[in-house]
Structure 1
Amino acid sequence: MPELIPPTTDLHAAWLTAHREWGPGRHEDGFGLLPTDRPETAAGFAAWIARLEAGSATATCRWIVEGDEVLGGIALRHELTAATAALGHIGYGVKPSARGRGIGSFALSRMLEHARTLGLDRVLLVCLVGNTASARLIERHGGLLESEPDVVRRYWITL
């Protein structure tokens, strides 16, 4: 059974395995990874985890894990800022080999519950137009399309 946990240096090797499965690029929004982060080394990984912990007042980052395996990540940005308007309040990713098992739905449900406890009354989620699996997931959780999409679909979920 998967669970959501705060990022931890204890899962460095497992996180690197998941990251390698995704391949190059910045497509793991749920991890809060920035282009300047260097998670490959132990020191860089620890610095990244420390940065995520330091930002916990404005964003909640959780890893989706099962046992000692990192399946994905999900992040909730607490405020509507310019970055949130572009990326959404909630960003998530599930590694390719773990998709199709309901893991994204599990994680999104838990993060929507957390958003409610923070007092948010609605949240924005975005996905690329071609990402039909993500669009279906958001719609199953009550996402209403804001407008006709061009590059990204913008959905609002009322909590």
Structure 2
Amino acid sequence: MTHAKLIRPSASFYASWLESWDEWGTLDQDGAAAFVAARYDLDLRDSSDFAAWVEVLHHLPRESFQPPGGLANQSTIWVVRDDVYLGAVSLRHSLVNEYLTEVGGHIGYGIRPSARGHGLAKFALKGALDEARELSMERVMVTCKQPNVASARTIEACGGVLERVCPPESFAPDLGVTEPILRYWITL
């Protein structure tokens, strides 16, 4: 975690973000990237679409901004070190749909594979919790897949109290859940 910092998204991290995407092998690096980009029909491999996506991420936290269906107002924070994008955390200000209420929770985070194991997820989650406090949120739900022991430990280290383990069959089929989900609450 040495010298890592939390920043608002910036188009200047385009090349580094793409490298992270390639490491992940998927667009959904932080629990929100793919969903937001799809709602705005943006190709994040295109530099101008990437810049437009970053602009959307700057608008999403504003109460006056009405996101398209399925999206919640949210704050996105990036983890960077030495001008390299390392990961992100998204704080959804409310749980606006069944997926968020049951599966996604208030906070989604992800650290690029080459940067894991250095406390960056905990650093990012703590940053999101600070943001939640600034928004006067009283508690937040954070979830992870049961096999993701590292994420469960991160949530617990930040005060997460396990509400329950939800088997995949407990969710509506259209939510696409294939593994048990651990649902945690963190009181702020």
Residues in 2 aligned to 1:27 and 1:68: alpha-carbon distance in whole angstroms: 18
Displacement over 4 Å in runs of 4+: none
* Deviation by residue 1:3-42 (Cα, 9 ceiling, x = unmatched): 111111111001111111111353431x533262311011
- Aligned to 1:28, which of 27, 30, 45? 30
- Aligned to 2:107, which of 64, 87, 90? 90
- Aligned to 2:43, which of 26, 34, 38? 38
Residues in 2 aligned to 1:89 and 1:140: alpha-carbon distance in whole angstroms: 17
In the TM superposition, 1:58-73 aligns within 5 A as 58-73=73-88
Partner of 1:112: 129
Gaps of 5+ in 1: none
**TM norm structure 2:** 0.79
Residues in 2 aligned to 1:63 and 1:133: alpha-carbon distance in whole angstroms: 20
1:89 and 1:40, CA in 2 relative to 1: closer, same or farther beyond 3 A? Answer: same
* Deviation by residue 1:131-158 (Cα, 9 ceiling, x = unmatched): 1100111011111111133221110001
SS at match of 1:61: strand
Residues in 1 aligned to 2:127 and 2:10: alpha-carbon distance in whole angstroms: 19
Partner of 2:54: 49
* Deviation by residue 1:67-110 (Cα, 9 ceiling, x = unmatched): 11111000101113224313111100001111110111111112
Matched, 1:157 2:173: no
- Aligned to 2:15, which of 10, 13, 16? 13
1:6 and 1:121, CA in 2 relative to 1: closer, same or farther beyond 3 A? Answer: same
The answer to whether the Cα contact below 8 Å between 1:32 and 1:75 also exists between their aligned partners in 2 is: no
SS at match of 1:108: helix
SS at match of 2:166: coil
The answer to whether the Cα contact below 8 Å between 2:165 and 2:181 also exists between their aligned partners in 1 is: no
SS at match of 1:33: helix
1:17 partner amino acid? E
SS at match of 1:124: strand
Residues in 2 aligned to 1:3 and 1:77: alpha-carbon distance in whole angstroms: 21
**TM norm structure 1:** 0.92
Gaps of 5+ in 2: 63-72, 168-179
Q: Percent of aligned positions with the same letter in both sequences?
A: 39
